[in-house]
Amino acid sequence: MLKVRIVGPRSRIDDAIKALHSAAVLHIETVPEEDFRNGGILRRLPIEAERVREKEELERARDTIKSLTALVPPPPVVRPARVEAGEIPRYMGDLAHIGERARELRARKDSLSEELSSLGKYERLLRGFAPMVSRLGGLRNFEVAGITLERTREDIAGLLETEVSRITEGAYRMLTKDLDAETVGVVLAYPRHFDPQVKALLSGRAIGEVRLPDEYADMALVEALLLMGRRRARIPGLIRDIDRELSAISFQWYDEIAGTERAIENALDEFGALSYAAASSFAFIIEGWVPAERYGDLLKEFREAFGEKVRLTPIESGAARDDSAPVLIRNPWFIRPFEVFLSALPPPRYGSVDPTIYVAVFFPAFFGLIVADMGYGAVTMALALFIRSRLKGGKEAYRDIATVLAIASASAIFFGFLFGEFLGDLGERLGLQPIIFHRIEALTTLIYVTIGIGIFHVLLGIALGIKSAVTRKKPKKAGAKTAFFMLVVSFLWVLGSATGNLPGEYFWAAVAVAALSFAALAVLEGILGPVDFLEALGNIVSYVRIMAVGTASVVMALVANRLGSLPESVFIGVVVAGLLHSLNLLLSILSPSIQSMRLQYVEFFSKFYEGGGRRYRPFRRR
């Protein structure tokens, strides 16, 4: 990364920002505070009142567009129209009547949906009350009131009947029925001249009087039910008509809506860039970071656009040691999916190591060593590729996970071929033989292999830590990491010599190197140095989990095959084996993934990874 400064006449700042916006390479930074101190001539760039009003208009236009996009459903494919900043007012004028019509349609649809819900509720209540009302007979001069009570307050019904009897002097009829599990329905019939007193009684908090909408209030029960049924059957068609019209509006106008929204956001971004700049009475300054290989292109564009009136110059910043420098992570296309592992961590500091390429090598290798079954690997790959094919648009992280799983499954197929495993020992029954060794019969060998892998992986992590410290020009840290590396190597040599696994003639030389390395590490790192050393030894032993989890999977596959062969019925045997293999397959996706990720994050990254960086975010058009 190269830090640059752009200086030019204050009258050209808008043109300079537009040029940077089009170039899409500069990560803009705020001009440092020290440039404003000690009576300097630089100040934060003031925004004129006219520009403030322009910004406010753009913000109102953005709110209008966002409300319009909430009203109009997006079509399956959106190709935003190319709208320039100067064309925004014209497009907003064209979209004004579209917004008005969309709001009318949406309000109508919401009203119909609410009516449909209300009609369903009233229809259920009326159907519950209908048998009770019919039992009251022809009480022409009587008022009929329907009420609902919560089942937990059924005692109110008795108190209500007592009060209605008192008010009407016994001239009433009262019927009750369970409407649902939580509600009791009550129908009261009483002389009409008692209506004011009864209505006042029914206004209690625990009593819900059924009040029909005005258009049904004066109808007979059967007539209201019939009309409600017809209306409820008609409303879905009206809603579909509204949806079709909204879809037609979307098909015709959504590209213009999306293009206008993008143009507004771009214009507001340019206003935001002004807040990073500094200015004197006659000049402006903008600072930022650009990838070193793109600096020449940016310089050429500015010279062609402004000549010598606007200057673009590099600033000596010591970027290798500058933690403020943004980080640009760039990997080949076949490694890029593994960047998903970094999404759970803060970006690495500038100048430190990007671990993506190492994860792309070791994660599939560890996953394959644990699963190591051609059948499970093939099914997992098919599942991963199917999921990947179904994930499109805005789901890149999930596509990357599916891609990583497919690559790891290929590794599982490869190691399954080497170990001669296909759905456990089913491959052996079909004549498949291991090329290197059978996992169940070579557990000791597997332990040595996995510990060897752990030694290599941990030492590689420490070596990357040395590289990072050297690149970032931190000699003390580089020395500590080197002592750490030498201590682990020499201690392992001493251990191997003492156990007879390594030549003994270098034993005392290794002891001397270990003692010197331990002393150097203690001096450079303090108490944390020896602690890190002990942790590294534990990390190496931790790689035995590759053998342990893999062996458990093999045993479960064998159990599935043995249990499947016990029943006399072939069909039952296939079902039993299939269920157990399905469970083992699920575990063979989850457990190896978790264990492989743990070995990356804990045992490997802890030796070199330096988080706390900032991602490179160039000032670019949306």
CA-closest candidate to residue 453, choices 554, 555, 345, 370? 370
With contact defined as beta carbons under 8 Å apart, do 372 and 415 qualify? Answer: yes
How far is Cα 326 from Cα 498, in angstroms, rounded to an integer?
A: 49
Mean pLDDT for the stretch of residues 19-41: 77
* pLDDT value, residue 139: 45
Pairing of strands 326-327, 614-615: parallel
Strand order in the sheet with 173-178: 173-178, 183-191, 142-150, 207-209
Domain range list for the chain: 122-228, 336-607
Lowest-confidence region among 87-101, 126-140, 270-284, 441-455 = 126-140
Q: Which residue has the higher pLDDT, 227 or 141?
A: 227
Q: What SS3 class is residue 8? A: strand
Whole-model pTM? 0.72
* pLDDT value, residue 138: 47
Rg (alpha carbons) of the chain, rounded to whole number: 38
CA-closest candidate to residue 317, choices 280, 350, 347? 350
Which residues sit opposite 326 in a β-bridge?
Answer: 614
Mean pLDDT for the stretch of residues 224-238: 81
CA-closest candidate to residue 18, choices 289, 291, 315, 286? 286
How far is Cα 3 from Cα 30, in angstroms, rounded to an integer?
A: 12
What's the gap between Cα 411 and its chain centre?
27
Work out the end-to-end distance of the chain between its first and last CA atoms, rounded to an integer number of angstroms. 23
User: Per-residue pLDDT for 347 more than 90?
Assistant: no
Q: How many CA atoms lie within 13 A of 497 on its CB side?
A: 15
Q: For residue range 363-404, what is the model confidence (pLDDT) as tens digits?
A: 999 999 999 999 999 999 999 999 988 887 667 888 899 999
Residue ranges of alpha helices (H) inside 287-355 are: 292-306
> What's the whole-number average pLDDT of the chain?
84
User: Per-residue pLDDT for 211 more than 60?
Assistant: no
Share of the chain above pLDDT 70, in %: 87
How far is Cα 541 from Cα 543, in angstroms, rounded to an integer?
A: 5
Its sign, for the CA torsion 315, 316, 322, 328, is positive
Taking residue 401's Cβ as centre, other Cβ atoms within 10 Å add up to 20
With contact defined as beta carbons under 8 Å apart, do 516 and 557 qualify? Answer: no
122-228: which CATH topology? Alpha-Beta Plaits (3.30.70)
Q: How many CA atoms lie within 13 A of 571 on its CB side?
A: 0
Residue ranges of alpha helices (H) inside 169-220 are: 195-201
Q: For residue range 320-331, what is the model confidence (pLDDT) as tens digits?
A: 456 778 888 888
Which residues sit opposite 207 in a β-bridge?
Answer: 149
CA-closest candidate to residue 465, choices 488, 449, 491? 488
Mean pLDDT for the stretch of residues 398-425: 92
Q: For residue range 444-496, what is the model confidence (pLDDT) as tens digits?
A: 889 999 999 999 999 999 999 999 998 888 899 999 999 999 999 999 999 88
Mean pLDDT for the stretch of residues 5-25: 91
